[in-house]
Structure 1
Amino acid sequence: MPVKPEVLKVTPTARSRLFQVEELKLRFSNGVERTYERLASRGNGAVMIVAVDAQEHVILIREYAGGIEDYTLTLPKGLIDPGETPHIAADRELKEEAGFGANRLHTLKKMTAAPNYMGHRITVIIARDLYPCKLEGDEPEPMEVIRWPLARLDELVLQDEFTEGRAIAALYMTRHFLAVEGQ
């Protein structure tokens, strides 16, 4: 097992309303020193919700994604507010974005997107035993809600507007989890 490098210095280099860029000066166990840049992890993390209804459909949303300047089909997700657990945040975000609450929540996995450059983590949570419940959220416009049969997951990942790698991974892990749980 490699020895983690020694952190010599962390210097903030840029900050926006959402992000902080840091310079990270490291010394590796062989004496080599390097400087990395990263988007620093702030806040309490985030959740991504794989909501599965009684008919084995997943609940997807269509939302505007500023990073790609287009609408995208994805899973409900959002930040964990101060004082919330991941399960409380997942239930709240599902209500705000898709109009459903969940009686059963299961943490599937904590994931990263680009760990070489970002410290952000997202907790994938499976939500089941859904019921209608809408909360007002911070979205600028209502989200379109789409139900997609989990059995047709392979077709979904080929759709042009379904591109988020974390959502794709979450759905395949969910399908496997539900198959194993059902045995």
Structure 2
Amino acid sequence: MQQKPEILETRLVARSRLFGVESMQLRFANGVERTYERLRTPPIPAVMVVPMLDADTVVMIREYCAGVEDYLITLPKGALDAGEDWREAGNRELQEEVGYAAGHLEKLKTFSLSPGYMGHHIHAVLAWDLKPSSLPGDEPEPLEVLTWKLSELEALLERDDCTEARVIAALYMARERLAEVRPWG
């Protein structure tokens, strides 16, 4: 196993309402020194839910994504509130964004996002046994709720409005897990 580089210095070089940009001076085991920059994000984990109405039907949303300046098809997601675990946050986000609560939640994987530039993590969660239930959300406009068949996942991925890598990974993982557990028989 490789030895981690030594952090010689970290320095905040810019700050916004949500992010900081941090400069890191590193020394690698071979003596080479480099300066890296990374987004310094709050250590608040997030949750992304793959809500299943039945063995093949996933509930998704279309929402505006400022980073790409467009509307994308994605999954319900959001940050964990203080004191929440991933199960509570997953059920809250489901109720806020798609109008369901889940009787069963199972963590698929914790993903890192652009780990070369930031330390953010998100829990991908599979949810089933959905029941109508809603909570007020914090979105600036109503989200478009839609459904898609996992058996037609490749057609979804051909669309120009489904490009988020963590969503794509979670959908494939959910499809595989559902084939193993068969919650609908």
For the criterion TM > 0.5, the same-fold answer is yes
1:11 paired with 2:48, answer no
Partners of 2:6 and 2:28 within 8 A in 1: yes
Q: Which amino acid aligns with 1:45?
A: P
State the shift of 1:55 in Å: 4.9
Unaligned runs of 5+ in 2: none
Partners of 2:57 and 2:150 within 8 A in 1: yes
Tell me which moved more, 135-144 or 53-62.
53-62
Unaligned runs of 5+ in 1: none
Tell me which moved more, 35-44 or 76-85.
35-44
Measure, in 1, the Cα distance between the counterparts of 2:23 and 2:146. Answer: 41
Q: Which amino acid aligns with 1:75?
A: L
Measure, in 1, the Cα distance between the counterparts of 2:36 and 2:177. Answer: 36
3-state SS in 1 of match to 2:169: helix
1:1-183 matched pairs, under 5 angstroms: 1-182=1-182
Q: Number of residues paired by the alignment?
A: 183
What TM-score results when the alignment is normalised by the length of structure 2? 0.94
3-state SS in 2 of match to 1:96: helix
3-state SS in 1 of match to 2:173: helix
Q: Which amino acid aligns with 2:25?
A: K
Partners of 2:44 and 2:120 within 8 A in 1: no
Measure, in 2, the Cα distance between the counterparts of 1:130 and 1:65. Answer: 26
Per-residue CA deviations over 1:114-160 (Å, capped at 9, x if unaligned) read 11111111110111110111110110111111011111111111111
Identity %: 51
State the shift of 1:113 in Å: 2.4
3-state SS in 1 of match to 2:180: helix
Please tell me the root mean square deviation across aligned C-alpha atoms, in Å.
1.3
3-state SS in 2 of match to 1:23: strand
Per-residue CA deviations over 1:2-21 (Å, capped at 9, x if unaligned) read 01111111111111111111
Per-residue CA deviations over 1:46-72 (Å, capped at 9, x if unaligned) read 111111112521110011111121111
Measure, in 2, the Cα distance between the counterparts of 1:14 and 1:130. Answer: 43
Moved over 6 A (4+): none
Q: Which amino acid aligns with 2:156?
A: L
